[in-house]
A and B are shown apart, each in its own frame.
Chain A
Amino acid sequence: MKQTTGSQKIPGFLLKWTVLSLFLILTLMPFLWLLISSLKTTFEIESGGFSFPASLQFINYVNAVSIANLPLLFTNSVLVAVLAVALNVAVGSLAAFVLAREQFPGRDFLYVALTAGILIPIISFLVPYFILITRIGLYNNLISLILIYAAVNIPVTVFLITSFMKAIPKEMEEAAVMDGCTFSTRFWRIILPLAQSGLATAGTFCFIYAWNEFILAMLFTSSESTRTVQLGIRFFQSQFQTDYGPMFAAIMLSILPTVAVYVFMHNKIISGLTAGAVKG
């Protein structure tokens, strides 16, 4: 037994690091390409390839920040994304709790109906959304984006959190029920903390969606005070040509908050709190 373990170790080690290096190259490539491109002239970018720029175009970043007014757009985007995530995860986890841990008539139907929402190509909803938003008077109001982003992500969120809540062993809850826990205490004190990694995952996906969404943001806002960072990125695309240099600089700047959210959510919540909660 011991010998097999020993002889398996070296190929296992090799295999492991081959897989990791391969994916490291694959996933780092877009980032590096973007980073290098953001320091090139537009002409150099269009000429293609992975070559380095003749001279580093830091001016792209200056243009991205000043011409596209990124600071204001960033503020709007943070507001929209954070509130959309909060609304989405709150609403989604309430529903997921009863879908995962309760029996009631129509549960499976509701679950499938909500889940099927994942399939919907949102672009086919542009006209009805426009009718809805203008009728309830939220056109050119950031609330419209918060509501839509939270709603559009409900299917994925419910689907993910339900799956995480289903996986929690029954025994953990039974003890609490014995102790006379009420319905909402079971949700708050037991299931929610145990499903935190699911909430973080769903929240991350919702944040990325809200941060990167463009068509709806363009459709429902009309003044600079309600525009999001995606407009800043498109600011350099005009009808006949795109100024890729500053556009890629704006993209580089725009991905930083998403990476920060990702790192925060996953380092703090997953490795810290949840692990403690399960063991404790």
Chain B
Amino acid sequence: MSNRKVLTVLTALAMGLVFLTGQLSAQEIVLKWPLIWVGGDGKAAPVKAIIEAFNAENAGKIKVEVEEQPNYDAYEQKVRVSLAAGIAPGDIFTFKLNPATAEFYKSPLVMDLSKDLTGAWAKNFPAASIKQATIGGKLKSIPFEIGVTPVWYNMDLMNKAGIKATPKTAAEFWAAADKLKALGIDPIAQNTGSTNAYITMLWFSHIAASRGGANVWAKPITDKVFVDSLKDLKRMYGYSNQDAIGAAPAIANGHFVKAESAIYTNGSWRLAATLKDGPTVYENLAWDYLPAFGANKNSIPMFLQAMIAAGETKDPARRAAILTFLKYFTAPDNVKKISLASGAMFTVPFTFEPANPVEAGLQKFMTLVQKASFTVPNLEVALGPAAVAEFGQRVSLYLTGGATEDEVLKAIAKKLED
């Protein structure tokens, strides 16, 4: 009898335990995040630490599970394909916002956060960024990482050419280019290859902003501003590395890091790599706005580099869990950790005392943004992947004398038609 009683009690206990565990695991919400900040990415370590800390804090309630996506092209493909197949790419995912990906805003699979990104949370983001991320009254992605691309100067080479400070006018800029060329180097780094002709496209964006102002990309692409900008670009090409045509950005990066070029443009994510591969170059770096080629001074290309989005869900608990995580992840303290570790820049502002050369560089980038008369997106972000691909193809021929300004711009205009 007593045996049976013990057995009964034990069975009841076991069943209770099973039931409880079941309840517990049912309560835990698992959020999937196909994450690009993994592997060799500068943001990998801090992002991993933040996710682990969040999971520990919410143990038994919410768990963020990472799917590693080291190859960015394949990742973008996966986001597009799964949305087209009718499945959200993840509970949390990121994308670059441009005229093509703005289409994602029409997808019912992507969560609208316009009612959520308000109040205290919204105060972490500049109003302009939130406005940029709002399309048709919907906010389907949180503006997160930004790219800022000032002009980089190797002051060691500049000094050797007899130039003491960064050029402040177009005349000084060309004079510097002439003097540097006399040293026997190709002063301006460019590349017109890969899918977006990255460095050359950035130069063109600098010039266009200086000539056309903050709303330059609202003008038709065949506007005189762009014709003149192309002419400046061609003049720059006269001072550029001979392997620029068809080259990947790594070629332009390499010339600058090896002190084979003195003038360059790229984002703050290149700070750490430049320090590692060219420590002596890094010691003598200076950053500045492109001198006014047109009427506008002190403009800087800046754009939203990564947006954080969420997969739509009908379950209020799940929705709340996603929001809890997003608020945690975008808190200024966490953003600061990611930024300082990687050199990347974010919409969320924070203050810091630079403790190493990369952080010092990062701070200079931030100062340039704060003091800029205006910021302007680059061509790729403003006009989309079709336009930038065509730009790269046509400008390669144009720079080597095989096409006219009109031909280049008309070809891009055709791509912009729809």
Question: What residues make up the interface of A, taking CB atoms closer than 8 Å to B?
Answer: 43, 46-47, 67-68, 126-127, 130-131, 134, 214-215, 218-219, 222-224, 227, 231, 234-243
Q: Are A238 and B72 in contact (CB under 8 A)?
A: yes
Determine if A126 and B81 form an interchain contact, defined as CB atoms under 8 angstroms apart. yes
Q: Cβ of A127 and Cβ of B34 under 8 Å apart?
A: no
Partner pick for A243 among B40, B74, B85, CB 8 A cutoff = B40
Q: Which residues of A contact B267 (CB under 8 A)?
A: 240
Cα of A7 to Cα of B228 in the assembled complex, Å: 70
Whether B86 contacts A218 by the Cβ 8 Å rule is: no
**How far, in angstroms, from A192 to B42 measured CA to CA in the complex?**
54
Q: How far, in angstroms, from A43 to B253 measured CA to CA in the complex? A: 10
A238 and B70 form a contact (CB under 8 A):
yes
Binary contact track B21-50/A, C-beta < 8 Å → 1, others 0: 000000000001010111111101000000
Q: Is the CB of B78 within 8 A of A219?
A: yes
Residues of B within 8 A of A222 (CB): 32, 34, 67
A131 touches B85 (CB 8 A): yes
Binds A, one of B269-277, B321-329, B405-413: B269-277
How many cross-chain pairs have Cβ atoms below 8 Å apart between A and B? 87
* Contact residues in B for A131 (Cβ distance below 8 Å): 85-86
The smallest C-beta distance from A212 to any residue of chain B, in angstroms, reads 14
B250 within 8 A of A: yes
- Is B101 in the interface zone, CB < 8 Å from A? no
Least CB distance, A238 to chain B, in whole angstroms: 4
State whether B81 touches A238 (Cβ < 8 A): no
- B55 in the interface, Cβ–Cβ < 8 Å? no
**B254 lies within 8 A of chain A by Cβ:** yes
- Which A residues are CB-close (under 8 A) to B172? none
Contacts of A47 in B (CB 8 A): 254, 258
Does B169 interact with chain A (Cβ within 8 Å)?
Answer: no
Interchain CB contact under 8 A, A214 and B74: yes
Give the distance to chain A from B107, nearest Cβ to Cβ, in Å.
14
Contacts of B42 in A (CB 8 A): 238
* Interface membership of B77, Cβ < 8 A: yes
B39–A235 touching, CB < 8 Å: yes
CB distance from A80 to the nearest CB of B (A): 17
8 CB-based A-B contacts, threshold 8 Å: A131-B85, A218-B71, A218-B77, A235-B39, A236-B39, A238-B70, A239-B72, A241-B273
Cβ–Cβ < 8 Å partners of B67 in chain A: 222-223
Total contacting residues, chain B, CB less than 8 A: 37
In the assembled complex, the Cα of A130 lies from the Cα of B276 at a distance in Å of 41
- The answer to whether A46 touches B254 (Cβ under 8 A) is yes
> Bound complex: CA of A46 vs CA of B86, how far in Å?
40
B10 sits at the interface (CB 8 A): no
Binding site for A on B (CB under 8 A): 32, 34, 36-42, 44, 67-72, 74-75, 77-78, 81-82, 84-87, 250, 253-254, 257-258, 267, 269-270, 273, 276-277
Q: Which residues of A contact B254 (CB under 8 A)?
A: 43, 46-47
Point out the residues of chain A lying under 8 angstroms from B269, CB to CB.
240
Q: Which residues from chain B contact A218 at a C-beta distance below 8 Å? A: 69, 71, 74-75, 77-78
Chain B residues with CB below 8 A from A214, complex form: 71, 74
For A47, give the chain B residue with the smallest CB separation. Answer: B254
Are B277 and A43 within 8 A (Cβ)?
yes
* B85 close to A238 (CB less than 8 A): no
- Bound Cα distance A215, B277 (Å): 31
Question: What is the bound-complex CA distance between A237 and B70, given in angstroms?
Answer: 6
Contact B41 A239 (CB under 8 A): yes
Q: Is the CB of B72 within 8 A of A231?
A: no
Q: Which residues of A contact B273 (CB under 8 A)?
A: 241
Give Cα distance in the complex from A225 to B258, angstroms: 41
Per the bound structure, the CA–CA distance linking A46 and B276 in Å amounts to: 14
Contacts of B78 in A (CB 8 A): 218-219
B248 to chain A, nearest CB (A): 9
- Name the CB-closest residue of B to A131: B85
Q: Cβ of A46 and Cβ of B40 under 8 Å apart?
A: no
C-alpha gap A172/B331 in the complex (Å): 77
Could you tell me the distance between the alpha carbons of A81 and B234 in the complex, rounded to whole angstroms?
51
Query: For residue A235, which residues in chain B have a CB less than 8 angstroms away from its CB?
Result: 38-40, 68, 70
- A239's closest neighbor in chain B, by CB? B72
With a cutoff of 8 Å between Cβ atoms, the chain B residues found around residue A237 in the complex are 39-40, 70-72
Contacts of B270 in A (CB 8 A): 240
Closest CB in chain A relative to B118 CB, distance in Å: 30
Partner of B68, one of A43, A127, A215, A224: A224
Instruction: Name the distance in Å between A60's Cβ and chain B's nearest Cβ.
Output: 12
Residue of A nearest to B278 (CB): A43
Q: How far is the CB of B220 from chain A (nearest CB, A)?
A: 32
Distance (Å) between the CB of B379 and the closest chain A CB? 18
Could you say which of A43, A215, A231 contacts B77, with CB atoms under 8 Å apart?
A215
- When C-beta atoms are compared, the residue in chain A nearest to B266 turns out to be A240
CB distance from B61 to the nearest CB of A (A): 22
A238 near B74 with CB under 8 A, answer: no
Residues of A within 8 A of B69 (CB): 218
Choice from A46, A126, A215, A234 contacting B70 with Cβ under 8 Å = A234
B70 touches A219 (CB 8 A): no
- The reply to whether A130 and B85 contact each other, CB–CB distance below 8 Å, is yes
A219 to B67, CA, bound (A): 11
The answer to whether B40 touches A238, judged by C-beta atoms less than 8 angstroms apart, is yes
Minimum CB–CB distance for B380 against chain A, Å = 14
Cβ distance B83 to chain A, nearest Cβ, rounded Å: 10
Q: Which residues of A lie under 8 Å from residue B277 when comparing CB positions? A: 43
What's the minimum C-beta distance from A70 to chain B, rounded to whole angstroms? 13
CB < 8 Å neighbour of B74 from A227, A234, A241: A234
How distant is the Cα of A225 from the Cα of B104 in the complex, in angstroms? 30
The smallest beta-carbon distance between B310 and chain A, in angstroms, is 17
* Shortest distance between the CB of B208 and any CB in chain A (Å): 23
B72 contact set on A, CB distance < 8 A: 237-239
